[in-house]
Amino acid sequence: MWKHHPVCCNHRGRGNAEQMMAECSEVHMQSPVNCDTCEEDAAEHFCQTCHDKLCSRCKKIHNKSKATFDHEVVLLTSHALSLSNDTPPQQVCRSHAGFRANVCCSECEIPICEKCLLSEHNGHQVIGITDMFQTKMVKLEEKYSVIRSELPRYITKLHEVQERKTKVTENNDLAQKEIQSRMVIVKSKLDSQMMKLLEDMEENKKVVLVNLESQEGALEGHIKNMKRYINDYENKLPQEKTDFILFGNCALSSTMPEQFPNFAYPDLLKYESDAVDDAALKNLCGRLTVENVPRLKPIVKTLETIFIGNRYEGKTTSLAYQWQDDTFWLYSREKCFKIDRSANVLYTVNTNSKLYNKKPIAVTKKGKVIYRQDQCTLNEIDDYGLTYNYHASPGLAPLCLCARKDGGVIVGFLDVDLTDGGFFWLTEDGVVEKENRNIETWNKVYRGDIAGTRQPAYLAENVNGDICLSNKIVGVYTSDLQHRFSYKGLKSKGFLPYGICTNQYGHILITDGFSRGVHILSKDGDFLKLMNIPGLDGSCPIALTVDKNCSLCVGCSDGRIRVVEYLNV
């Protein structure tokens, strides 16, 4: 960066600019400045060639040196310093030591010497160093002005980030206290339930023991009588026994105790525990949610219906939204269509995609329309309707696309020989950023169904970077394709997933050919709602996208796009 030297002369009159400049040129610097060479004595002179400030002793050395004897040295004044801002100091060539850079290469925009003109800069146009300096100075001043004007915005944003950091910490502390407080309540209720179960167990034990003790007493009485009878019989004298036999009542019923009692033992009490239900446990313990996420509307409202008609043979199987001009892109029967909300066709392009054409179209963050041109090639459509090659992958068939939140697209692909598959990430310029193959879900579900039944596959990226793949089931993966969770629909019903999309709140939305509705999940896989689309009349929702108003746009099998309000925003 260049230096702004202060103008230190004292203007005492109101003369014209030339007069004041003349006055300044005769006035030495009011504030002493150290010599640039010895850095000890006060500078009194200024070299206009190399811009060094010199004391009297160093000036003499400067004038006698072979390298600087021809430099122009003047008195050190504010005017001399101000003029130095308009002319660069003498430069030494950076490619050839010992040679002065006398001119600038206008193509490379750097100072060069005569040896440079004979080598790497041979044939280049040259301009004076001062001219190049002035040109770059103007650009630098413009940049400086922009930076100065933009700096407050960045400082304000920095303060917001710092305040947010503080708020995050405070919020974390508050949430931890709320969690701990909630767990105290939950633990108290669990302890209370445990005590009730233990008390019920103890009360049952008391009742059962009283019953058993009654039975025990009755049995002990019977046993005592029986033992006494046996004792009497065994210990009587012969005459007494004879008398007892002859004159006594020897009937068994008159001498035996009552019949053996028929006791019914009380049942033992058994404790049964069900498996821990995760959903019930979450409801009991609570969950962490993001603030300001709107609630799902209890009543879904259709805002508008866009009738496509027979142009797509009655189906809207692939749908993408372009927020820059509020239009839709559809892909059907090897054609790309752009339509407005009145169903006017604004653009059409033919492709040669052949098989697997369920979701090979996406609109990037910058508004590029990326679609599958042929079996192994992706093309883009610019703002003027011109098509360009976006990415070619010989041997790989792009099956489904989705826009990346950071720009570019994610592509689900299969090798054309159906032996392998995976995903690759493309930038806005069509450059492969990374590739991942051989994931379990791809090989077991996606590739198997595509190769066998050609089950449609749809792809979406969530706000947290998760990859959501809809096929026979819904699989959700981290950005490095580590499995997070799978969703197989509601347990009591069948599930036939088609289109999938996400919204700015992290909700995952999936169309279901079985229920003819839309399943809505949280970003962590919690089931939130099964949404029925009004007015389907037997048709099926297939493709999904979200417009700039956060409305859900549903492409249906009856050739209509239904725009649905489903959030309380």
CA–CA distance, 116 with 79 (Å, rounded to integer):
35
How many Cα atoms sit within 13 Å of 114 on the Cβ side? Answer: 3
**pLDDT tens digits for range 274-309:** 766 666 676 777 766 666 778 888 889 999 999 887
pLDDT at position 521, please? 95
Q: What is the pLDDT of residue 265?
A: 78
Q: How far apart are CA 361 and CA 332, in angstroms?
A: 10
Are 356 and 454 a contacting pair, CB within 8 Å?
yes
Q: How far is CA 77 from CA 38, 73, 219, 492, in A?
A: 19, 12, 129, 91
pLDDT in tens, 484-533: 899 999 887 789 999 999 998 899 999 999 999 999 999 989 899 999 99
Please give the CATH superfamily to which domain 295-568 belongs: TolB, C-terminal domain (2.120.10.30)
pLDDT value for 76: 85
DSSP assignment string, 140-198: HHHHHHHHHHHHHHHHHHHHHHHHHHHHHHHHHHHHHHHHHHHHHHHHHHHHHHHHHHH
Do 130 and 104 form a contact (C-beta atoms < 8 A)?
Answer: no
Report the distance separating Cα 403 and Cα 413, nearest Å: 15
Tens-digit pLDDT string for the chain (569 aa):
344 443 333 333 334 444 444 444 444 555 778 898 888 888 989 888 788 889 999 999 888 887 778 888 888 887 777 766 666 777 788 888 878 888 899 888 889 988 898 888 888 888 888 888 888 888 888 888 988 998 998 899 899 989 989 998 999 999 899 999 989 998 998 899 899 989 989 998 998 898 888 888 888 888 888 888 788 777 777 777 777 677 766 655 555 555 666 777 778 888 877 766 666 676 777 766 666 778 888 889 999 999 887 654 546 778 999 998 999 998 877 788 899 999 898 888 888 866 555 678 999 998 899 999 888 899 998 776 778 899 998 888 888 899 999 899 999 888 777 667 788 999 999 999 988 875 665 555 454 444 444 567 899 999 999 999 998 889 999 888 888 899 999 887 789 999 999 998 899 999 999 999 999 999 989 899 999 999 888 889 999 999 998 899 999 988 899 999 999 86
The count of other CB atoms within 10 Å of the CB of residue 255 is: 13
3-class DSSP assignment, residue 449? helix
Three-state SS at 329: strand
Largest CA distance in the chain: 169
Report the predicted TM-score, pTM, of the whole model to 2 decimal places. Answer: 0.54
Look at residue 451 in the predicted model and tell me its pLDDT.
Answer: 43
Closest CA to 65 of 86, 77, 49, 81: 49
Q: Which residues pair with 507 in a beta bridge?
A: none
Question: What CA–CA distance (Å, rounded) separates 167 from 122?
Answer: 61
Joined tokens for residue 391? 């990415």
With contact defined as beta carbons under 8 Å apart, do 511 and 331 qualify?
no
Report CA torsion sign: 175, 176, 177, 181: positive
**Strands laid side by side in the 458-461 sheet:** 458-461, 467-470, 474-477, 483-487
- C-alpha closest to that of 248 among 238, 258, 237, 240: 240
Q: Say if residues 486 and 476 touch (Cβ distance below 8 Å).
A: yes
CA gap 266, 45 in Å, rounded: 117
Q: What residues form DSSP beta bridges with 306? A: 561
* DSSP-assigned letters across all residues of 447-464: HHHHHHT----EEEE-TT
